[in-house]
Amino acid sequence: MFRRNKSFTLRAITGGLILSLGLAAGASAETKLRMTIWSANEAHLKLFNGIAEGFKKEHPDVTVSFESLPFENYTTALTTQIAGGNAPDMAWIFETSAYDFVNSGALVPLTKALAATPGYEVGEISPSATERWSKDGTLYAYPFSTSPFAVFVNNDLIRKAGAKTPAELIAAGQWTWPNAIATAQAVAQSGKGGLVVRDFNYQAWQYLSSVWNAWGAAPWSADGKRCTFTDKPMVDALGFIHNAIFEKKAIPGPGQNVDFFAGDAAMTITQISRASLLPKDKRFDWDLVPLPKGPAGDYAIVGQAGIGVLKAGKDAAMATTFVAYMTSPENSAKLAQFFPSARKSLLNADVLGKTNALLSPAQLDKVVVSGISTGKVMPAHTDFARLQQMVRSGLDAVWQPKADIPAATRAICAQIGPLLAQ
């Protein structure tokens, strides 16, 4: 790699002939850094490219580009690039695969570089936010997004169906899962979609944690060594979800694709980063509310995303410098428009409100700030891709009208139990 203000001389001796190739003093060569991301959203790309342009002003010979990979197979596409010798310099990493990336040795340690960056203020980063991205006290990916799941609401569809809006249910102290499903069912009966768990699509089952955590359910024990699909909380939660799908028709069934942001559903559960998908023409009256209360009480679920520097990239040192720039206090405040920060100073409604014009202070406080402070991170495990596929296959038996849920969960545990116990 050529560097600014450096000369490069190649001497090759063939048959007594000396060949010399040099760059004159002061010449520069461009360094191109590439970061893979899952989003192709215009607002997200505008934000990222703006940060890259700011970095280029400080490093004129460095260009940063962002490569969008499909969400559905993002991690597979990323690992294929790495294995094929085409690793990006930096990568957006999902929380579900954090353990695998951190433990694999594929990532460059970041702690010392971030701490040595003037004005970075490492001490204000929440320790709980970095747990999944660290090993032996060293940070290997920066959790630039710590985003709670919430419910986006189409009040127009709900009122038209004659049902109570979530805001009305919250005011009455009745925002519970049974009442949320009743509202979704009323809208579904009117011909529109009820409640959509975005990104689930009967494949990415981990997104159902935004529902089943209301029962205190989890796919495996806290230490990750025991399958808990057969435990009563999970069996009860899956029974509730199954009833909402096949009996009440309140949740779109297998093969049904319903887009809330197109105005086709009453509610959707997703992270606030998806607020960028809200229609700019304000074609419907929307709201954002916390997840409904469940049998286990109030709860919150948080999704995370980290930025890691790949050892197999072309310029790990410069990539690390860019990550430090991208996640600085100033740029973290910009990112917080869509991706709530792990920095304590940015976790309040006043600060978030400066970059989140779409969300009211009340929504930011009740959904974002409260959700981050109390929420559990989505389930993850080492060798998650393999576990994800096993569970997905096992849950196919649940997504049938006459499902035997206890039998299906026993089969899932029989499959993943030995892997968890290793």
Percent pLDDT > 90 in the chain is 73
Rounded-to-integer distance, Cα 110 and Cα 310, Å: 11
Expressed in angstroms, the distance from the first to the final Cα of the chain is 43
- The arrangement of secondary structure in 31-147+303-377, i.e. its CATH architecture, is 3-Layer(aba) Sandwich (3.40)
Task: Give the C-alpha separation, 346 to 24, whole Å.
Answer: 46
**Rg of the chain over CA atoms, in angstroms?**
24
Give per-residue pLDDT as tens, 236-251: 999 999 999 999 999 9
Other beta carbons within 10 Å of 191: 9
Q: Which residues contact 119 (CB under 8 A, 6 or more apart)?
A: 328, 329
- Residue-wise pLDDT for 275-323, tens only, equals 888 888 788 999 999 999 999 999 999 999 999 999 999 999 999 999 9
Q: How confident is the model at residue 368 (pLDDT cuts 50, 70, 90)?
A: confident
Query: What is the distance between the alpha carbons of residues 402 and 143, in angstroms, rounded to a whole number?
Result: 42
Three-state SS for 308? strand
Q: Which residue has the higher pLDDT, 268 or 20?
A: 268
* Cβ-contact 147, 94 below 8 angstroms: no
Predicted confidence (pLDDT) at residue 206 exceeds the cutoff of 80: yes
Going by C-alpha positions, the residue among 121, 120, 52 that lies closest to residue 90 is 52
Burial label, 329 (beta-carbon count in 10 A; 0-12, 13-18, 19+): middle
Q: For 288, phi and psi rounded to 5 degrees?
A: -130, 120
Q: How many CB atoms lie within 10 A of CB 143?
A: 27
Both tokens of 112, joined, read: 């010392």
Per-residue pLDDT averaged across 201-223, rounded? 96
Query: What type of residue sits at position 415?
Result: Q
272 has a pLDDT exceeding 50: yes
Give the pLDDT score at 353: 75
pLDDT band at 413 (very low <50, low <70, confident <90, very high): very high
β-strands 90-94, 301-309: how paired?
A: antiparallel
Determine the average pLDDT of the residues in 152-178: 97
Q: Which residue has 């929440």 as its token pair?
A: 126
The string of pLDDT tens digits covering residues 337-349 is 888 888 888 887 7
To the nearest 10°, the Cα dihedral for 148, 151, 153, 157? 160
What's residue 28's pLDDT? 54
Predicted confidence at residue 390, as pLDDT, reads: 97
What span, in angstroms and rounded, lies between the C-alpha atoms of 372 and 302?
Answer: 7
Mean pLDDT across the chain: 89
Under 8 Å between Cβ of 220 and 233: no
pLDDT at 3 (0 to 100): 34
**Residue 170, token pair as written in the block:** 């919250």
CB 52 within 8 A of CB 35: no
Please name every residue paired with 92 in a beta bridge, in sequence order, or none if there are none. Answer: 307
DSSP secondary structure string, 355-384?
A: H-TTS-HHHIIIIIIHHHHHPEEPP--TTH
* pLDDT at residue 350, as a whole number: 78
In this predicted structure, what is the pLDDT of residue 17?
29
The answer to whether the beta carbons of residues 284 and 263 sit under 8 Å apart is: yes
From 397, 338, 401, 388, select the one nearest 207 (Cα to Cα): 388
Lowest mean pLDDT among 111-115, 210-214, 377-381, 415-419: 377-381
C-alpha separations of 258 from 74, 194, 254 in Å: 22, 9, 11
| Confidence at 355, pLDDT banded by 50, 70, 90 | low
Buried b (16+ CB within 10 A) or exposed e, 192-218: bbbbbbbbbbbebbbbbbbbbbbbbbb
Quick check: 306 and 377 in contact, CB under 8 A? no
CA dihedral 195, 256, 198, 212 (to 10 degrees): 60
pLDDT at 352: 76
Q: With 0-12 CB in 10 A as exposed, 13-18 as middle and 19+ as buried, what is 237?
A: buried
Higher pLDDT: 9 or 332? It is 332
Q: What is the pLDDT of residue 374?
A: 81
* Per-residue pLDDT at 7: 30
Look up residue 266 and give its two tokens.
């009453």
List the single range of 7-16, 76-85, 139-148, 308-317 with lowest mean pLDDT. Answer: 7-16
Q: Across residues 98-113, what is the average pLDDT?
A: 95
Residue 342: per-residue pLDDT: 86
Spatial separation of the C-alpha atoms in residues 381 and 421, rounded to whole Å: 12
**Structure confidence by residue, pLDDT tens digits, 4-60:** 333 322 223 233 323 333 333 444 578 999 999 998 889 899 999 999 999 999 999
- Asked whether 77 and 70 are in contact (CB, 8 A), the reply is yes
Q: Tell me the average pLDDT across 213-217.
A: 98
